Structure 1
Amino acid sequence: MVIKDPSDARSRRDQALTACCMAAAAESDPLLPSARRASMLMDCLSVLRAVHPVDRAAQIDMRRFRQGLRGPLGTLLPPAGEGADQFDAMRLFDAHGLVRDGLEDLCREHMVPHRALEQHWSWARVRAEQEERRLYEVLRRLSPEEYRRARTLLGEYPAGPVRKLRRAWDRLWMRFDFFEAVSDWPWCQLDGWWYPCPDCHWPMRVVRHKTTVEVRCEAHAARGVHYRWVPGSGRDQPAPLVATGKRATPVQGLPASTEHLALTRPVWRYGTLPTLMELHLRNEIADLPHVTVEIWPGKLRPDEYDLHITVAVPGRRKRTWRVDAKAWESVTALATALLERDAPAFPLTIVLPDHQEREQHYLAARLRGRRTKVTTCSQLIESVRTACGGPR
């Protein structure tokens, strides 16, 4: 596995996080042969030891490594250096002993080395970073009108029957070859059926416990989109799902066949989810008095920012927001990615999902001095309502 410069605290921490994530993936894979699992764990332990001082590294044996993977990661990670992050308290496994849904995204966002991916991860994971980059290259080659249409479709039609998708995507269909057959995704299937999330319409994950089966959206489970599967309907009809979350509205199972497609995970994660945030923001404020909102407004670069919001109340100073919505699993990795860009030439507002409210101050501190404000989706909506004279 490739090791970054060990003199850099952030690089050492990223490498340790990568090693822990890869080890957790190996520990949680029931199909992985025991010899292969042992080999992967040894490689990950070697990487983890390499980023610690010698005296500290000697204290981390395999037993302590495996125990540490199931607790807060602070027992395994080197110090964060300047700027604290959330990873000391993070757990890679949930209360049921299952690996958390965002593990792949966390690894990808923290720059898992390609060589490590090729050695230890499936080909689908090797493709993930290339897939994300290819999406943005395709989007940037579109005209502004086509760009806006494509972004809307990413949010509204990320999965479904192939005929319905073809009709919706129309002339853009042949340019967006980011769909795969749901039949190739066993992780979302129950007796030959799959269930779309009521919020993002992408396949929900099937999680099998000892006595129950849970169906949940990886992105929206924290908002209450999760269900319990009730077997017994037979293979001719999808088994019903019992809502166990506050946003678990009824969903209809669909055949997990080659005639049902879904966007690849990276495109859903970094294309569909931010688009849904942007559409939600637009819809929540578009009808407010004195508000003008443009979505993907750039003429030459529609991807420069996502929303341009103007509040012009007579007799008051005009307020404007240029909004860039972000739906990353790791706010730490997001901060690093944003800092690698040129500072914006105008005041910019980064919007995070509501469930990352506790991390907005960390991101704001990392971006201090770059004309960038950090807020959440609900906070921005409230700010716009207040600016146009609405109730707090």
Structure 2
Amino acid sequence: MALKEHDDLRLRRDQALTACCLAVAAETNVSLAPEQRASMLMDCLGALRAAHPAGRAARLGMREFRRGLRGRLGPLLPPSDEVDDRFGELRLLDSDGLVRDALEDLCREHLVPQAAWEQHWPWARARAEQEERRLFEVMRRLEPGEYRQARALLAECPAGPVGELRRRWDQLWMRFDFFEPVAGWSWCQLEGWWYPCPKCRWPMRVVHTGRDVEVRCEAHRARGVHYRLSREQGGRAAAPLLVGTGRASDAVVGLPASEQHLALSRPVWRYGVLPTLLEIELRDRLQALAHVRVEMWPGEVRPDEYDLKITVVVPGCKVRTWRVDAKDWASADALARVLLEREPTPYTLHIVVPDHQKHEVEFLKERLAGRRLKVCTPKILVEQVKRAAGGRGE
């Protein structure tokens, strides 16, 4: 079996195991409202069916699902190519219908946060968190040079024709299995075509509003990346033409939404691509300044310790240093929790959030008080560095 096929089976198996764990947690929680339990089970059943081949998935109903959760997991899981598959005989419930320790072990091994099964997160949220943690684990296993290469490629090549992606990712291709066929993403397709955002190069969303069609980047719409379908169209074989309606709506060309066009999964785009773009934007704004040196992913022990090291050396003045970790999270509360779970650093770390989240800065400062963590936006950080480069203090 080809390595790519093996990885696909493994990911499907992983998805099915996660769905079963979340379903068992909901099924056995007697304090859960019946409607919430039913909603969770339907959510998990949908995820489980998506992990199976089409013919087998059609035979998985709710009755079979709930009965299967009380036996060995084998009948619920998609086929495995491994001769010794320990999950096939695994049971998540004991003879009395109580959750076994195996549930917690499975969640830990498969990077499912404890809160996901204790608080009954929706499948999409649990899977996104799981994928983000998997990205973190993959990146941490890379050599420093490979790590820096992968971070740069996240920003440069998050989507495109598979041949181009293979060429650019080169030796990292088989180790970085976060790409998915755009053909399966109906939300970004317009008459069989998809359009990469001019800022992040990831597929833009297609929104039908009455008789109009808008194509926009979810992350960069506020910065003026949005389009409408042109009333003047080319031939049938050509992609529909778009007209820019925002200040940053550079010309874009549609690409076929085929199996041969891939894009990084949404969690990797959200928590890998977007922060990397923020880091690169900061670097570009700072490295042109006199007396300023910017290093990308320089970590003193590991390259993922922080994202930028900014050093200002002005003759006759004290050397100033900023160690920066860029974060682009939708929830400031969730970000604060993750930062508080980290091991304290022996140096001050500057957490930089996007300018459009400046209203969250004070909240984060309060939550992180007492730690060697400072919070600011790119605009604030650039002003601090400029003052230091001009020989002035903060």
Give the TM-score normalised by the residue count of structure 1.
0.68
Provide the residue aligned with 2:72 in structure 1: none
Q: Name the SS for the 1:200 alignment partner.
A: coil
Cα distance between partner residues in 1 of 2:130 and 2:113: 13
CA displacement at 1:317 relative to structure 2: 1.5
Output aligned runs, 1:177-196, within 5 Å: 177-196=177-196
Greater alpha carbon shift after TM alignment, 238-247 vs 145-154 = 238-247
Percent identity between the aligned chains?
A: 59
Output aligned runs, 1:18-57, within 5 Å: none
CA deviation digits over 1:291-335, x for unaligned, max 9? 111110015311111111000100112111000000101111101
Q: Name the SS for the 1:316 alignment partner.
A: coil
Output aligned runs, 1:336-347, within 5 Å: 336-347=337-348
CA displacement at 1:287 relative to structure 2: 2.4
CA displacement at 1:115 relative to structure 2: 8.3
Give the 3 Å change call, closer, same or farther, for CA 333–235 of structure 1 in structure 2: farther
Cα distance between partner residues in 2 of 1:315 and 1:390: 9
The gaps in structure 2 that reach 5 residues or longer are 1-22, 27-31, 44-111
Cα distance between partner residues in 2 of 1:313 and 1:110: 48
Cα distance between partner residues in 1 of 2:123 and 2:234: 36
Provide the residue aligned with 1:241 in structure 2: 242
Q: Which has the larger radius of gyration?
A: 2
The size of the alignment, in residue pairs, is: 289
CA displacement at 1:343 relative to structure 2: 2.5
Q: Name the SS for the 1:284 alignment partner.
A: helix
CA deviation digits over 1:135-181, x for unaligned, max 9? 11111111111100111101111001111111111111111011011
Provide the residue aligned with 1:132 in structure 2: 132
Provide the residue aligned with 1:330 in structure 2: 331
Output aligned runs, 1:245-284, within 5 Å: 245-284=246-285
Output aligned runs, 1:109-188, within 5 Å: 112-113=116-117, 116=120, 121=123, 127-188=127-188
2:358 maps to a residue whose letter is: E
Provide the residue aligned with 1:378 in structure 2: 379
Runs of 4+ with >3 A deviation: 108-117, 231-235
Provide the residue aligned with 1:98 in structure 2: none
CA deviation digits over 1:38-82, x for unaligned, max 9? xxxxxxxxxxxxxxxxxxxxxxxxxxxxxxxxxxxxxxxxxxxxx
CA displacement at 1:215 relative to structure 2: 0.8
Verify the 8 A CA contact 2:179 2:264 in the aligned structure 1.
yes
Verify the 8 A CA contact 1:274 1:326 in the aligned structure 2.
yes
CA displacement at 1:235 relative to structure 2: 3.8
Provide the residue aligned with 2:299 in structure 1: 298
Provide the residue aligned with 1:200 in structure 2: 200
RMSD, aligned α-carbons: 2.7
1:175 maps to a residue whose letter is: R
The gaps in structure 1 that reach 5 residues or longer are 4-14, 27-107
Output aligned runs, 1:77-92, within 5 Å: none
Give the 3 Å change call, closer, same or farther, for CA 390–140 of structure 1 in structure 2: same
Verify the 8 A CA contact 1:229 1:239 in the aligned structure 2.
yes
2:323 maps to a residue whose letter is: R
Cα distance between partner residues in 2 of 1:288 and 1:311: 10
Give the 3 Å change call, closer, same or farther, for CA 352–181 of structure 1 in structure 2: same
Provide the residue aligned with 1:7 in structure 2: none
Greater RCO between the two (CA within 8 Å, min separation 6)? 1
Provide the residue aligned with 1:351 in structure 2: 352
Q: Name the SS for the 1:190 alignment partner.
A: coil
1:295 maps to a residue whose letter is: M
